[in-house]
Amino acid sequence: MKKVWKLFPYLLIGIITITIFLLVLQANKIIEVLPSILTSLRVLSVTLLFVYAIRKRSLTTWILVCMVAGAEFGFDVPSVAKNLQVLSDIFLRLIKTIIAPLLFSTLVVGIAGHANIKQIGRMGWKSLLYFEIVSTLALFIGLLAINIGKAGVGVVLPPNPSSPPITGIKAQTTSEFILHIFPENIAKAIFDGQILQIVIFSIIFGIAVAMLKEKYRIPMIRFSESLAETMFKFTNIVMYYAPVAVFAAIAYTVGHMGLDILYNLFKLLATLYVALIIFLGCVLVPVALIFRIPIKQFVKAVSKPATIAFATSNSESALPSAMECMEKFGIPRKIVAFVIPTGYSFNLDGTTLYLSLASVFVAQAAGIDLPIEKQLIICFTLMLTSKGVAGVSRASLVILLGTAVSFGLPVEPIFIILGIDVLMDMARTSVNVVGNCLATAVIARWENEFDDNVAKNFKIE
């Protein structure tokens, strides 16, 4: 039996390679393959992947396999797949119940548990400095990619777009943005899912607890510690449902849009993915090397939260997993609890890159020649107005619409983007999560609290 399992990976790789090879030949009309043969090979590949997942017994493996299975199911049975969104919505709802208590408890423990207000202030300015430098680099990479690729040039706009024009949306002013940071009602902030407001409340609350006398401070810290541990256990339970949610989300997407959508706007999609890969390779990897973060182990640590973010197109769904994995990677909870939630509002690397790319695409599609200085003004405005949208799926599309209206750009090209926005959202959301996880490791190293031994021995559960 052991010999069979040794040969199994080669069988799996072989079947998948043959399947992909035949699909490519069929798509390019090089050869004609019977549909029944292609379907049988795809189903066999998925079946072998399920066998591999059962053998591997890893949640990350199950999530990846269910992504592939969901795409296959959505392609073969689109009528059924279109009704599966409710299964992924259940997962998102459960995750959203975790966010507020988890952020509150971990931040309070991280601040009051160590009673080192100076360190919190120090981590604050270091984090913001790092966030703004990296986000600005992402913005310029997005601009460079779309100006080189010119994905919007040659796009034919429909004379009568099916969607009505958007008129009532406008970009946030500076004063509105500043006011939006601070909660007027913490219950309302929790209800609306305003991560940045919850973070501000929790930080001030934690500082207040740190200033209490010991007899009052200790019970509150113990309560917060107990709440944090409970929410992590709650997360573990919910995460067992993640493969089902991922399967449903991918099946719904493919069943609703079909695989042909990949060809309709392939150039724009490819431009975004290439730009994000360049950002990962030319910005995040050098940052990891400069701060001596073990890259191989870091990739293992972020694989689960990044996969969840990719499948659900929602950064918030990956937040509990990201925080847990970073702790296991050797980063103290007080740093994880401060940097990751703050990064969810200020360090949206993937979203920033996407917005800079998409805004110029809109102008190109409309035949408007934007000088570089106006491109920069639009993109910096987008970067400002996008703060705090990480927890809302495809909220960046609303931000893009509002900014287009305020700068006099047509909205019709944005409705074209809408067709593949979910596919773009998957990639940019994953980069958001990876960037925030790396930021946590960077700040931990900067604070001389990164545990190299734990990081080097990190293993995927």
pLDDT-wise least confident of 56-70, 190-204, 337-351, 408-422: 408-422
Give the contacts of 41 (CB within 8 A, at least 6 positions apart): 15, 18, 19, 22
- Provide the mean pLDDT of the chain: 79
**Which two structure tokens, joined as six digits, stand for 278?**
């360049």
- Contact residues for 50 (Cβ-Cβ < 8 A; gap 6+): 65, 69
Q: Is the pTM of this model over 0.75?
A: no
Are the C-beta atoms of 224 and 334 separated by less than 8 Å?
no
> Distance between CA atoms of 98 and 230, rounded to whole angstroms?
10
Task: Look at residue 254 and tell me whether its pLDDT is greater than 80.
Answer: no
What are the tens digits of pLDDT across the range 357-388?
888 888 887 778 778 888 888 777 776 656 54
CA 251/CA 245 separation, integer angstroms: 10
CA atoms within 13 A on the CB side of 49: 21
* pLDDT for the residue 167: 42
User: Taking 80 as the threshold, does the pLDDT of residue 65 lie above it?
Assistant: yes
Asked if pLDDT for residue 171 goes beyond 60, the answer is no
pLDDT at 114: 58
Q: Could you read off the pLDDT of 261-278 as tens digits, one per residue? A: 444 467 888 899 999 999
The pLDDT of residue 124 is above 60: yes
Residue 27 has pLDDT above 70, yes or no: no
pLDDT band (50, 70, 90) for residue 279: very high
Residue 51 and residue 45: Cα distance in Å, rounded?
10
- Provide DSSP, 34-88: -HHHHHHHHHHHHHHHHHHHHHH--HHHHHHHHHHHHHHHHHH-HHHHTT-HHHH
Q: Where are the domains of the chain?
A: 2-57, 123-195+261-456
User: What are the pLDDT digits (tens) for 399-424?
Assistant: 676 667 667 777 667 766 765 666 78
Convert the pLDDT of each residue in 283-315 to its tens digit: 999 999 999 999 999 998 998 888 888 887 777
| 360 compared with 122, residue with greater pLDDT | 360
64-78, 421-435, 438-452: which is most confident: 438-452
Q: At what angle do helices 85-112 and 315-328 cross, to 10 degrees?
A: 50
Q: Which residues contact 261 (CB under 8 A, 6 or more apart)?
A: 419, 420, 423
Q: Which pLDDT belongs to residue 89?
A: 79
* CATH hierarchy code of domain 123-195+261-456: 1.10.3860.10
pLDDT at 274: 93
Confidence of residue 434 (pLDDT cuts 50, 70, 90): very high
